[in-house]
Amino acid sequence: MFRLHRFGIKLGLETISAMLSALGDPQNQFHSIHIAGTNGKGSVAAMLATVLRLAGYNVGRYTSPHLERFNERICINDQPIDDEAVVRSCQRAMAIEGLPRQPTFFEFTTAMALDEFARQKVQWAVIETGMGGRLDATNVLHPVLSVITNISLEHRAYLGATIAEIAGEKAGIIKSNTPVVTGVHQQSAGNVIADQASKLGAPLYRHGREFRCRRLPNMQFDYYGIHHTYKKLHLGLSGDHQVDNASLVLAACELLEINGHATIKEETLRKGLEDTRWPGRLELVGTAPEIILDGAHNLMSARILGRHLRRHLHNRNITLVIGILEDKPYRNILKDLIASCSRVIVTQPKIDRAIPAEKLELAAREFSPNVEVRTDVGEAVRYAVATTAKEDVICIAGSLYVVGEAKTALAVMKNFENKPGITP
């Protein structure tokens, strides 16, 4: 499967539609919720899937990329499918003949996921787009609900050079007469989404208008919704920004109930938000020293992480371990993150799109005099742990590929096997 990466990124629906047709159109055998946006897609998907599972439904979840194992992309009831299921779905997809062209990696894995969801008879599938929306392989769905989290400049070569153009691509997931929930706040992007929803007769529900939230101390918040108000909700995910993501989830669940698609009690909503876990996003994996993993793979997520570090760890020495992919605005990402850190260790994940560590070092030195290079992520993590005081902090960021390799390295470090605070 991974050899399919050589075919690159090819947006369009003709090939994935042909693949799914050959598999019996599995996407039509369950209810689906389709999620697009720049950041927060995975967190929203994780919360929605957990809530629906706790409400008693059989739930599939498709997200990308994975951190350590491919299986993480395709989950049933919050558990990655097993190796046998991966092999089975892969073989079924490989057996398809007569396609318009060779499928890309993402098209292939999307077909696998939808086929496996149908085979395992999920009642709900929560599906995250890969890139954009309009021509993304997942846009073969006919969802009961669409969610657009937020929008910032990304993938300009594929999606457009302006916020409005990118919003047009994300708005491509909106379907006729199908409700849309969005957290988009820029006026230009919001207008594009509103225009598309209006053209298709899709009811639009906007964060800050049709529903809103109020942050409280200790990661609690109040939700003022479409028909319901919930007070003092708790989140299992860290970060102030998760309150906004959770509000989208609550609005989505309200609409599922309003439209008769699902029954979700308030206690289920509360427990679902508290129980949700989403690895690699402000994930605390060590306490002495404190080790935080956060993908922070684009400018918006880097700014959110930088704000979190300044707000909650301003009195601590922070070591930043960072690697970034070549299609990202790496200088601005470095600027936002290094501002909160006392030293930097640059590295590069094992993917051909990674920026060479030596190139990243030159850019990092523009913002900090204390920069070191460890080209292997595992080596960088081991070095950071060995040279960081127990009372200090290590933040590993810049790419979900870096986070994945870091999680693997931490799990196998022998001197951490019995150390309190490290999760395998």
pLDDT, residue 424, reads: 41
97: in domain = yes
CATH code for the domain in which residue 314 is found: 3.90.190.20
Together in a domain, 302 and 249 = no
In which domain, by residue range, is 371 found?
Answer: 283-416
pLDDT, residue 412, reads: 83
Together in a domain, 80 and 216 = yes
Choose the final residue of a domain: 226, 255, 275: 275
424: in domain = no
pLDDT, residue 202, reads: 98
Together in a domain, 22 and 130 = yes
Which amino acid type is present at position 104? Answer: T
pLDDT, residue 111, reads: 98
13: in domain = yes
Please give the tally of structural domains in the chain.
2
264: in domain = yes
Together in a domain, 166 and 288 = no
pLDDT, residue 152, reads: 79
Q: Detail the DSSP E strand segments found in 245-360.
A: 283-287, 290-294, 318-322, 343-346
Together in a domain, 256 and 373 = no
Choose the final residue of a domain: 240, 275, 310: 275
pLDDT, residue 180, reads: 98
Choose the final residue of a domain: 275, 296, 327: 275
Together in a domain, 242 and 289 = no
pLDDT, residue 13, reads: 94
Together in a domain, 187 and 210 = yes
Together in a domain, 155 and 95 = yes
Give the residue ranges of the chain where pLDDT is below 70. 5-8, 154-158, 160, 414-424
Alpha-helix residue ranges (DSSP H) falling in 129-172: 156-159, 163-170
What are the backbone angles phi and psi of residue 73, rounded to the nearest 5°?
-70, -30
Together in a domain, 258 and 353 = no
CATH code for the domain in which residue 91 is found: 3.40.1190.10
Together in a domain, 146 and 69 = yes
What are the backbone angles phi and psi of residue 52, rounded to the nearest 5°?
-65, -40
106: in domain = yes
Together in a domain, 330 and 405 = yes
Residue carrying structure tokens 């997809």: 93
CA 227 and chain centroid, separation: 28
| Largest Cα span, the chain | 61
pLDDT, residue 156, reads: 57
322: in domain = yes
List all residues 6 or more positions away from 261 whose beta carbon is below 8 Å from its beta carbon.
31, 144, 145
Together in a domain, 30 and 6 = yes
User: Alpha-carbon distance 188 to 194, whole Å?
Assistant: 10
423: in domain = no
